[in-house]
Structure 1
Amino acid sequence: MNESTFAEQKVVVLDFGAQYGQLIARRVRDLGVYSEIMPCDASADEISAAHPAALILSGGPASVYAEDAPSVDPAIFDMGLPILGFCYGHQIMAATLGGEVAHSEVGEYGAAKIMRDGESVLFGDTPAEQTVWMSHRDAVSRVPEGFTVTSHTDVCPVASMECAERKLFSTQFHPEVKHTEHGNELLRTFLFDVCGFEGTWTMDNIIEQKVSEIREQVGDARVILGLSGGVDSSVVAALCAKAIGKQLTCVFVNHGLLRKNEPEEVEEVFTKQFDVDFVHVHAEERYAELLAGVTDPEAKRKIIGTQFWKEFFAVAQELDGVQYLAQGTIYPDIIESGARKTGGKASTIKSHHNLIPFPEGVHFDLIEPLDHFFKDEVRALGTALGLPDHIVHRQPFPGPGLAIRIIGDVTPEKLEILKNADAIVREELDAYNQRLFEETGERNSEHSCWQYFAVLPDIKSVGVMGDERTYQRPIILRAVESSDAMTADWAKLPYDVLARVSGRIVAEVPGVNRVAYDITSKPPATIEWE
């Protein structure tokens, strides 16, 4: 990432393979401080080159005694930076600085009660007893020289420790998870009292910074962007439009596999709301021919992906002076594609730019203004840029579109059925989620649906309509609760909502005589059917 106004107030999270690694970075950003993730085996020189003003050492699944246990460059503790360690980060801090970590006979997993031991900079005025979230068997048994024990539990003698003089703090528990009742206060104390940060990581500042960076990078050149109508590409388009206006050409490849009315909505936003060149490529017939008779989901994906780039680059090569390709790569894409897990730690994060199949003799430099943003930050950025809610809060939608929600071959008849059924599902469950929001005041209530859609299986079943036998298609309703799509549970929808969805689909969608509800969690199932 380019040097920015936030460089002097940046937290680097060293990742020891924690399931909560990204969550730590998010919690820091939620408090208005910019954070980035680096692998735990980065050297002190590499970390220093990132210009952090503080470090956080994440948890991790390994034991410090394991042969291939992740370690940390001891020199980071001599950089003069405030450092906060959680769980494995707590243990590695103790072990590296001359303390001892012991393997306990009794582990702690889940909610636990800690008792504070005397005064503590990190704990400040928080209660003497408080509930925290633990996940460990190893535990610090002796703190390094200069450290004091600041809390304990019945089975963990060092639930936290600190050396305030060197600004080194660590906890055996996880302050970043919501189950630790005063975790946010501890993070606030570290960031604002210990580190002296100001909390300037706000949407207005981010937009100003990103617009400036794009203008500086692009100069007078032209930029092309493949606009899918999804959240990420739409936010990149809005950001580039604000920065460079007519120097941007948005290419919208319509493969005919989007949801009902989506192509029209995308075109309206980017022709009427933003001052950019917009090219609508109507490729519906070409895709229909290519997909005719294809039933294997991986074959569908390959055909759709390959044809997208053919359509896109055909337009790109007709434009003069295009030097840059903008894309909606976001931070989890970078982390997940480049951070292969080895021995419980993440290796150096690598770029995945080489996944773009540039034709022979064609190359564009990349603009990826969202490559250090998490998904909900991208949504907030979109709102701040003036994008409408139906784009900003668009549900996750597969690149191949409805082709992989139609089991079997894709035909115009099946597409029409699925588009109409899916529109009813989204309309009814949008309304259900809105009612929950009005009742609870939370957008992400634990009872709300995170993703919901219709699936069209490759079967027919017998039914009765108007005293006559029918032999038509069923629709499968899929609705799940999740926060990150890594795991998901089926949504416990009220019967009246299910009845309304089913009744409307059968009554309003020709060719459908039955609705079934998928009540399988992930795992063992996936959220999508193909």
Structure 2
Amino acid sequence: MAASQKVLVLDFGAQYGQLIARRVRDLHVYSEIVAGDSPAADIEAMEPSALILSGGPASVYAEDAPEIDPAIFELGVPVLGFCYGHQIMASTLGGQVAHVEVGEYGPASIERERESRLLNATPLKQTVWMSHRDAVSSAPAGFTVTSSTEACPVASMEDHQRRLYSTQFHPEVRHTECGEQILSNFLFDICGLEPSWTMESIVEAKVAEIRERVGDARVILALSGGVDSSVVAALCARAIGPRLTCVFINHGLLRKNEPEQVEEIFSSQFDVDFVHVHAEERYAALLAGVVDPEEKRRIIGTQFWEEFFAVAQRTGGVRFLAQGTIYPDIIESGARKTGGRAATIKSHHNLIPFPEGVSFDLIEPLDHFFKDEVRELGLQLGLPGHIVYRQPFPGPGLAIRIIGAVDAEKLAILKDADAIVREELDAYNERLFRQTGERNSAHSCWQYFAVLPDIRSVGVMGDERTYGRPVILRAVESTDAMTADWARLPYDVLAHISSRIVAEVGGVNRVAYDITSKPPATIEWE
């Protein structure tokens, strides 16, 4: 992402590394994450406007502690350090870091000095978020101590002349009551940046970037109908129009009405070459009698690429393959783009089984965006809300939400039951949004769906004994899918969902609710 203003977050293994970058972007300044041990020459080549040194779990005196190139402090770029970043700044520049007898974890009260550029416009006493057992005991020469706690003599320090600032606490977390003001002071008052990184400017920049790179060539995209691929399609459509071919492979395993929604949007609202591949029957034959979930995944994945490349080979002049890779994919795979270093593509990209003699250049226009930024981009590009706010959905689709073999009867039951679950919990989330003003409030359901197990149970319906199928409801609260807790849905919501499924979906006589968190369970069942 070409940006005239760029804040680099040097990551030393912090649990809040991504959060720092997000908070900077929330203030409309572009930020990227790079490795904390990047050479100063690499950092300088990226032409940053400012640097932020993240926290980290290590002690600066540990044998394997992350190191920083001391020349980074000589680049003349403003630097702000948090926690480990605070300590490594101090130790590198001649200060002292000591192991304290009493650590600080969670909320702590700091008292600040009246003169502090970083803490300007914040109270003299305020609550911050700490997480440390080491602390700076003596600031380096040239630094002024600007705040302290009972356990931490140097809770923050600054050197105006060299534009170096640091805090032992974490301004990036919401628990630090004036954290946003502190970040704002650094970005705008100290660094002199402008809050110019907006969705409108981002769309313009990305569209121009795609046009320049593609030129007169054609681009092909595997369109799933999910958020990421849909936003990539909308971006490319604005950039190159009908020279984009969107290949939508309908394996018959999508949720109810989704194929029709995807076709309507991308064949009528966007000027692209939309190819709807009806592969339902081919998938049904391949999956007949297959019980093992990994075998299902293998069959579905292999057939997907066969279907996709059959279209690609019929489409002339295709040079580029567009993909919906987003920034967390890059970060979590260890692919950190730094000046002078080759970026790696996350591992599953390398597993695309290109047929012999077939190759494409890769376009990943979302590879430096977080998920909620992707959603904002989608809205800016005119995508409807039911696409932009669509919850995660596995590539193999409903095949891995049907426990056991997949057949037409089970698919019909699950599609109908799942549609009821989504309709009711969509409405539940919307009610919470109206009450709280937050799209993802504390008790919003993050992901929710129905599962069809390979069992039957006895029931009584209309004074008759039934031997029908149970449906399992799964609903979780999460922010990133790394961990998840089962959603504490109101009893009346659960009761209404259960009543509707049993009344409206033939062959179902029981509804159960999965109340297992991740870990120990996963969100999906297979």
* 1:94 corresponding residue in structure 2: 90
* 2:12 corresponding residue in structure 1: 16
* 1:327 corresponding residue in structure 2: 323
Runs of 4+ in 1 over 6 A off after TM superposition: none
Q: Does 1:309 align with 2:315?
A: no
Distance 1:16 1:487 in 2: 22
Tell me which of 296, 303, 306 is aligned to 1:300.
Answer: 296
* 1:350 corresponding residue in structure 2: 344
Q: Does 1:33 align with 2:29?
A: yes
Using the TM superposition, name which of 265-274 and 164-173 deviates more.
164-173
Please list, as runs of the form range in 1=range in 2, the aligned pairs for 1:104-119 lying within 5 A after superposition: 104-119=100-115
Amino acid in the other structure paired with 1:51: E
Question: Do 2:139 and 2:145's aligned partners in 1 also have CA atoms closer than 8 Å?
Answer: yes
SS in structure 2 of the partner of residue 338 of structure 1: coil
Distance 2:430 2:309 in 1: 41
Please list, as runs of the form range in 1=range in 2, the aligned pairs for 1:88-237 lying within 5 A after superposition: 88-237=84-233
Amino acid in the other structure paired with 2:46: A
Distance 1:220 1:167 in 2: 47
Instruction: Report Cα offsets for 1:316-372 as digits up to 9, x if no partner.
Output: 0011111111111111111112359xxxxxx98622342322111000111111111
* Deviation of the 1:112 alpha carbon: 1.0
Please list, as runs of the form range in 1=range in 2, the aligned pairs for 1:253-268 lying within 5 A after superposition: 253-268=249-264
* 1:245 corresponding residue in structure 2: 241
Distance 1:290 1:43 in 2: 52
* Deviation of the 1:262 alpha carbon: 0.2
Amino acid in the other structure paired with 2:374: V
Q: Does 1:511 align with 2:511?
A: no
Amino acid in the other structure paired with 2:361: D
Instruction: Report Cα offsets for 1:485-527 as digits up to 9, x if no partner.
Output: 1111111111100000000001101111111111111111111
Distance 1:299 1:378 in 2: 32
Distance 1:66 1:288 in 2: 57
* 1:467 corresponding residue in structure 2: 463
* Deviation of the 1:241 alpha carbon: 0.5
* 1:383 corresponding residue in structure 2: 379
Question: Do 2:90 and 2:97's aligned partners in 1 also have CA atoms closer than 8 Å?
Answer: yes
Structure 2 gap segments, 5+ residues each: none
SS in structure 2 of the partner of residue 413 of structure 1: helix
Instruction: Report Cα offsets for 1:69-126 as digits up to 9, x if no partner.
Output: 1111111000000001111111111111111111111111111111113410000020
Distance 1:388 1:287 in 2: 29
SS in structure 2 of the partner of residue 290 of structure 1: helix
Please list, as runs of the form range in 1=range in 2, the aligned pairs for 1:314-463 lying within 5 A after superposition: 314-338=310-334, 350-352=344-346, 353-463=349-459
Instruction: Work out the percentage of aligned pairs sharing the same amino acid.
Output: 78
Question: Do 1:223 and 1:323's aligned partners in 2 also have CA atoms closer than 8 Å?
Answer: yes
Structure 2 CA distance for partners of 1:84 and 1:348, relative to 1, 3 Å: farther
Amino acid in the other structure paired with 2:386: H
* Deviation of the 1:474 alpha carbon: 0.8
Distance 1:90 1:192 in 2: 20
Q: Does 1:81 align with 2:77?
A: yes
Distance 1:472 1:333 in 2: 41
SS in structure 2 of the partner of residue 108 of structure 1: strand
TM-score for the superposition, normalised by structure 1: 0.96
Amino acid in the other structure paired with 2:182: L
Q: Does 1:529 align with 2:517?
A: no
* 2:275 corresponding residue in structure 1: 279
Distance 2:127 2:342 in 1: 35
Question: Do 2:335 and 2:345's aligned partners in 1 also have CA atoms closer than 8 Å?
Answer: no
Using the TM superposition, name which of 347-356 and 315-324 deviates more.
347-356
Amino acid in the other structure paired with 1:52: P
Question: Do 1:331 and 1:370's aligned partners in 2 also have CA atoms closer than 8 Å?
Answer: yes
Question: Do 2:8 and 2:33's aligned partners in 1 also have CA atoms closer than 8 Å?
Answer: yes
Question: Do 2:135 and 2:168's aligned partners in 1 also have CA atoms closer than 8 Å?
Answer: yes
Instruction: Report Cα offsets for 1:228-256 as digits up to 9, x if no partner.
Output: 00000000000000011111110000111
SS in structure 1 of the partner of residue 285 of structure 2: helix
* Deviation of the 1:200 alpha carbon: 0.9
Question: Do 1:38 and 1:349's aligned partners in 2 also have CA atoms closer than 8 Å?
Answer: no
Distance 2:351 2:12 in 1: 27
Distance 1:348 1:440 in 2: 44
Amino acid in the other structure paired with 1:334: I
Question: Do 2:249 and 2:307's aligned partners in 1 also have CA atoms closer than 8 Å?
Answer: yes
Count of aligned pairs between the two proteins? 520
Distance 2:521 2:191 in 1: 45
* 2:483 corresponding residue in structure 1: 487
Distance 1:381 1:320 in 2: 30
* 1:55 corresponding residue in structure 2: 51
Distance 1:454 1:500 in 2: 15
Distance 1:117 1:149 in 2: 8
Instruction: Report Cα offsets for 1:410-453 as digits up to 9, x if no partner.
Output: 11111111110000000001111111111122211112111111
Distance 2:191 2:48 in 1: 11
TM-score for the superposition, normalised by structure 2: 0.97
* Deviation of the 1:459 alpha carbon: 1.2
SS in structure 2 of the partner of residue 288 of structure 1: helix
Question: Do 2:53 and 2:80's aligned partners in 1 also have CA atoms closer than 8 Å?
Answer: yes
* 1:344 corresponding residue in structure 2: none
Question: Do 1:254 and 1:263's aligned partners in 2 also have CA atoms closer than 8 Å?
Answer: yes
SS in structure 1 of the partner of residue 503 of structure 2: helix
* 1:343 corresponding residue in structure 2: none
- Aligned CA-pair RMSD: 1.3
